[in-house]
Amino acid sequence: MRRLKTIFAVSFAAFLVFFGDTNSYAAGYPKPVGHVNDFAGLLKTSERQTLETTLRNYEKQTSIEIAIVTVLSLEGLTVEGYTIALAKSWGVGKKGKDNGVVFLVAPKERKMRIEVGYGLEPDLTDAQAGRIVRDSVVPRFKDGQMSAGIALGISAIMQSLGDKPYEERLNERKAQEEKARREAKFNAQRNAQALKVIGGVILGAVILILVVALYRRAEKRRKERKMLARANAAKIKSLQDLIGKAQANYAEAMKKLEELKSEGGDWKTLEKYSKGLPARVVKLEELLAREARDAGLGRRPVELVAKHLVAVEPEVLEAAGFLESVRGKIAEIKQAKKETPGLLRSLPDEIQDVEKKVDKPDVTDKTKNMIDKARGRYKEAKKLAGGSTEWLLLFAALIAVRSLLEQALRAAEEDKKDAVEARKPKPKRVYSSPVYVSSGSFSWSDSSSEGSSDGGSFGGFGGGDFGGGGASGDW
């Protein structure tokens, strides 16, 4: 939908320029006062003069016309539609060469566009314009560095276009195209002759290639099946070793399970699993033995054997890792028992300390409320500690309190930075008011263009044309 809107806006603007009353439509745009047309007041006088001099010198060297335009409003149009219509109405670029570029910024809508004339589209592609917008301009605009973004954007545009005169650039392009045409014609003739010579050979070669391809495919399939059979055998041996490990560790695992019970951990799930473990191990052992036998006799395709092994592997790993699972639970409970008392003692002081640090005028109520949440969660943990202690649950609750305090400290620092930034004085910009005409479009008072030029006379642009090439951005 957004793309359709853009196409409609560009088409509508082009219709007005080509088929409507051009003078009436152009009256809706400010009159160009130079290469730099800062109608939104984003640049200092020295910055405008520097850019104006740079762009005039660049035009003298290359004949390429680059126009910088900042406007108060897009007047309800898309940035694409507004820019292309303005570019056509001003005629940026030389007539017949269409070697113009318009760099437009609309701070009110926070949008910008680089519009490229027909004649420069091979030298400044949409992709290149897009990179300039993303990498050079938008990041500075987001930081509030409007003049820096404009200057860097213009510098990147000139660097992409190069410093060759447009005529030299055009002649080189024509020479390359002519060379490409000659080479294409020569290659076509050479290929036609070659096809006549090798036509008969190709027919016989096709048959040979098909035979060789079928043979290679069969050979490749045979090797793949052989490799898969070896992999299946290795996987079966590995899983059988894990089953043996599960059987060997079962007695130790049951002892550790009793230790877990004495530690007060969550042992019921593990005990339930342990009761069915011997029978499950025997079943897995028989299944693997059957897979090994069938694979050795070739009763099943190697692909099916591999599929069965993948399905049974998680269950084997779980059985083999049962002892480590119990040990892990014991270690977690011991850690919780060791660290929980200290947390219960230290957290009240930590809460008070953080509360003092965030109790500042620049810190928001949202951040301060985190302290109340932390205090409430600590009280809940305290109640949990007073009953039948579930160490892991209690430890997790206390860690959550500390995490909430750390979040509050980080949020308080961000609040302070935001408050300091908000108190910084903002640069004053002088915006001129548009004078509306009866047709509904607008023209601009002369005061809006004061200081845009470097002091030299400006007779307008050369009448170049545009077709929608370039890139847009917002911030």
> For the segment 232-250, what is each residue's pLDDT rounded down to a tens digit?
889 888 998 998 998 989 8
pLDDT of 291 higher than 50: yes
pLDDT of 429 higher than 60: no
Instruction: Identify whether 184 is part of a domain.
Output: no
Whether residue 247 sits in one domain with residue 122:
no
Distance CA 214, CA 286 (A): 40
Q: Tell how many helices (H) and how many strands (E) occur in the chain.
A: 13, 7
- Helix (H) or strand (E) segment spanning residue 297: helix 268-297
CA-closest candidate to residue 28, choices 466, 467, 437: 437
Of 206-215, 302-311, 444-453, which gets the smallest average pLDDT? 444-453
Whether residue 369 sits in one domain with residue 397:
yes
Whether residue 112 sits in one domain with residue 63:
yes
Per-residue confidence band for 391, with pLDDT thresholds at 50, 70 and 90: confident
pTM: 0.42
Whether residue 158 sits in one domain with residue 61:
yes
Whether residue 340 sits in one domain with residue 314:
no
Domain around 160: 2-164+435-474
Mean pLDDT of 133-145: 95
Whether residue 265 sits in one domain with residue 142:
no
Under a CB-based contact definition with an 8 Å cutoff, are residues 427 and 369 in contact? no
Instruction: Identify whether 367 is part of a domain.
Output: yes
pLDDT at 26: 41
The overall average pLDDT reported for the chain is: 83
| Residues making up the chain, counted from first to last | 475
Taking only the tens place, the pLDDT of each residue in 441-475 is 333 434 344 444 454 567 788 888 888 889 999 99
Instruction: Identify whether 206 is part of a domain.
Output: no
Of 98-112, 118-132, 360-374, 413-427, which gets the smallest average pLDDT? 413-427
Higher pLDDT among residues 48 and 293, named by residue: 48
Instruction: Identify whether 18 is part of a domain.
Output: yes
CA-closest candidate to residue 63, choices 119, 105, 115, 114: 119
Instruction: Identify whether 192 is part of a domain.
Output: no
Q: What's the sign of the alpha-carbon dihedral 316, 317, 323, 328?
A: negative
pLDDT of 352 higher than 50: yes
Per-residue confidence band for 99, with pLDDT thresholds at 50, 70 and 90: very high
Whether residue 158 sits in one domain with residue 30:
yes
Domains in the chain, number = 3
Distance CA 166, CA 96 (A): 12
Instruction: Identify whether 180 is part of a domain.
Output: no
Whether residue 81 sits in one domain with residue 23:
yes
Whether residue 158 sits in one domain with residue 49:
yes
Mean pLDDT of 126-139: 95
Distance CA 364, CA 416 (A): 9
Under a CB-based contact definition with an 8 Å cutoff, are residues 296 and 241 in contact? no
pLDDT of 156 higher than 80: yes
Instruction: Identify whether 12 is part of a domain.
Output: yes
Question: Looking at residue 14, which CATH number applies to its domain?
Answer: 3.10.310.50
Whether residue 158 sits in one domain with residue 9:
yes
Whether residue 239 sits in one domain with residue 160:
no
Whether residue 131 sits in one domain with residue 82:
yes
Residue 457 — φ and ψ, nearest 5°?
A: -75, 150
Instruction: Identify whether 100 is part of a domain.
Output: yes
Last residue of a domain, one of 325, 353, 377: 325
- Range among 14-23, 308-317, 346-355 with highest mean pLDDT value: 346-355
Distance of CA 5 to the CA centre of its chain: 24
